[in-house]
Structure 1
Amino acid sequence: MGPANVRLNPIGAAACFAFGLCMVIYIFGFPDWFQKEQKISLKELLSVSIALVERGGNRVRDIREGNTLAEKSKGKTKEGADEVLTEGDMESHRAIVYGFAKTFPGLQVISEESDIRPVSFKLIDNVNSKNDEVDKLIKNDMSVPFNKVTVWVDPLDATQEYKGYKTLEVIEGRADAYVHTTRIKKWDICAGNAILSAFHGKMTTLEGAFIDYSSRREVVNNNGLLATLFDHYKYLEQHIAKPMEHNKEKR
């Protein structure tokens, strides 16, 4: 019997290779060098944030003027204070969170409120990603990976005091420090923290650690906070750490 000739079908070979490649990608995912890292412009993010905050504020104002706040309690904090939810909360939440979702798909946004109501992005107005004042004040833009950015949202409701107000008192020199000794939600302090940092001030826990806003799983800062514009660690040591240690010794 003579030798058999084997001829490789190029179409079949290509199909087998493609199938094998698909299986490898399905099991192991795309290699890092194959994936293009998605980035976001910080100037555009700031401009969109300003536009969405204004949109959320307008929703709250309309509800206030229409006397349709529909206030109800979500429960109580560990300190015994009522946690209030209003229609203004939800409308502001929807305006801001869904606006971010439409403008920057995939951006991590953490809001005080949650909404299980389905939403159609067709019903959400587009957001202008350009702001003249931002362009005037910030000449150089910076783009960072999406996975390095987390946006925290505390919808406006005007039912209680604003935590950011206390930080502004420090920035404007009407208070030496803002001290909070109990647990506090990060969406209540992140905006004030950002503004304080821009003025070279500091906000830390009462243990002196900077507050981490990167985690979606931990939305509560359990270790109190100290916000100052000057002499932060000196103030922390003299007025916070030593009295706390003294109280522990007395127990």
Structure 2
Amino acid sequence: MAPMGIRLSPLGVVVFCLLGVGVIYHLYAGVISSRIAALRQHRTVDLRELLALSVEAALQGGREVRRVREENVFEKSKGKAKDGANERLTMANLCSHKKMYHLIKNTFPYLQVNAEQHSRVGAEETGAWNRVIPADLQPIGEGRAVAADDITVWIDPLDAAHEYSENLQKYVTTMVCVAVNGIPIIGVIHKPFTDYTAWALVGSGANVRARSSYSARSPRVIVSRSHEGRATRFIQTALGNHTQVHSAGGAGYKVLALLDPPVEQQERADVYLHITYIQKRDVCAGNAILRALGGHMTSLKGEQIDYSHSAGAANHGGVLASVGLDHLALLAKLQSADSRRER
């Protein structure tokens, strides 16, 4: 008697095949996903390369800012910013942001780059960086490898946009900052109308330095033009009526005012204070440069500003920046004045 065999109907054959394919797919997908996860864990970026790329991005953005100004391209208002000042969306902003954003993403596509939404549209005509370390960056020595997933890059394609629209060129900068686990490590501030660039890599070097002395008894405090009156009253309550208050445009410009750069028409200040909301991309680069020089930039409550992508783009706690002064003592005076004001 012949052994009985198992016969599958055509439908059964199809089901059996589909089950087999499903098992194979899940096994394969599991292997692939684990390999991708492993690659992401081991993917690193050299910080010296990232500094050189950041400098190049700021320079390329600056060329666009200058080109658009020279061509006198139309600019339009974006409306009111959260601090009450008029924001302007300019062709310079768009062109600069496009250059900076795509240069970084074309070179390191897996990095998180915090950019305004409009920078994400348009053709990617900017090529990748050539990975050549410029001569002025060579002295900082070997770079440090950092996990790519720990890095957030912040770009500001046109700092002092309002002043730019008024042709107040000295205040205008383009900036790039690199934060590692939320801490600013690389800062680049470029002044396109004077071709001056300040840069720093915390723990490795900088091409700028702090001044030899700062005034603690009668400090010169630099604030934003948009809220000079409010800031002056608060500062003189905290630090005394003898305190000099000077207003200027652009967060990058204000940080440079604390240093000793050979820049024409650059005012000097002992303290930089911002009392209202400000975008993190405006202050990240300056924060990194000050940290590299032993300085400080905190909120008005003394909190460190978190520049990780998950922490959001806005800083609501104000800004106090100093180098060469007792930062904690300044904070204590400001907080004391603030508590008296609230009573």
TM-score bin, normalised by smaller chain: 0.7 to 0.9
Query: Aligned runs of 1:171-250 on 2, under 5 Å?
Result: 171-172=259-260, 174-216=268-310, 218-229=312-323, 230-237=325-332, 239-249=333-343
Q: Which position in structure 2 is the counterpart of 1:56?
A: 61
Distance 1:20 1:106, change over 3 A: closer
Query: Do the aligned residues in 1 keep the contact of 2:112 with 2:152 (CA within 8 Å)?
Result: yes
Q: Secondary structure at the match of 1:171?
A: coil
Distance 1:51 1:79, change over 3 A: closer
* Alignment partners' CA distance in 2, 1:82 and 1:134: 38
Query: Do the aligned residues in 2 keep the contact of 1:45 with 1:129 (CA within 8 Å)?
Result: no
TM-score (norm 1): 0.83
Q: Considering only aligned residues, what root-mean-square deviation do their CA atoms show, in Å?
A: 2.9
* Alignment partners' CA distance in 1, 2:29 and 2:131: 40
Superposition deviation, residue 175 in structure 1:
2.1
Q: Runs of 5+ in structure 2 lacking a partner?
A: 5-16, 166-170, 172-248, 261-266
Query: Do the aligned residues in 1 keep the contact of 2:272 with 2:322 (CA within 8 Å)?
Result: yes
Query: Do the aligned residues in 1 keep the contact of 2:104 with 2:128 (CA within 8 Å)?
Result: no
Superposition deviation, residue 138 in structure 1:
1.4
Superposition deviation, residue 247 in structure 1:
1.1
2:252 to 164, 185, 204: 164
Amino acid across the alignment from 1:144? V
Distance 1:99 1:75, change over 3 A: same
Q: Secondary structure at the match of 2:306?
A: coil
State percent identity of aligned pairs.
Answer: 35
Q: Secondary structure at the match of 2:303?
A: coil
Superposition deviation, residue 15 in structure 1:
7.9
Query: Do the aligned residues in 2 keep the contact of 1:211 with 1:221 (CA within 8 Å)?
Result: yes
TM-score (norm 2): 0.62
Superposition deviation, residue 133 in structure 1:
2.9
Q: Deviations over 1:3-49 (max 9, x none)?
A: 99xxxxxxx9x9897445125458xx427984452111111111111
Query: Do the aligned residues in 2 keep the contact of 1:203 with 1:227 (CA within 8 Å)?
Result: yes
Q: Secondary structure at the match of 1:213?
A: coil
Amino acid across the alignment from 1:44? E
Distance 1:16 1:190, change over 3 A: closer
Q: Which position in structure 1 is the counterpart of 2:140?
A: 138
Query: Do the aligned residues in 2 keep the contact of 1:93 with 1:113 (CA within 8 Å)?
Result: no
* Alignment partners' CA distance in 2, 1:224 and 1:33: 38
* Alignment partners' CA distance in 1, 2:3 and 2:25: 31
Query: Do the aligned residues in 2 keep the contact of 1:89 with 1:113 (CA within 8 Å)?
Result: no
Deviates more, 1:218-227 or 1:36-45: 36-45
Query: Aligned runs of 1:64-103 on 2, under 5 Å?
Result: 64-68=69-73, 70-103=74-107
Q: Runs of 5+ in structure 1 lacking a partner?
A: 5-11
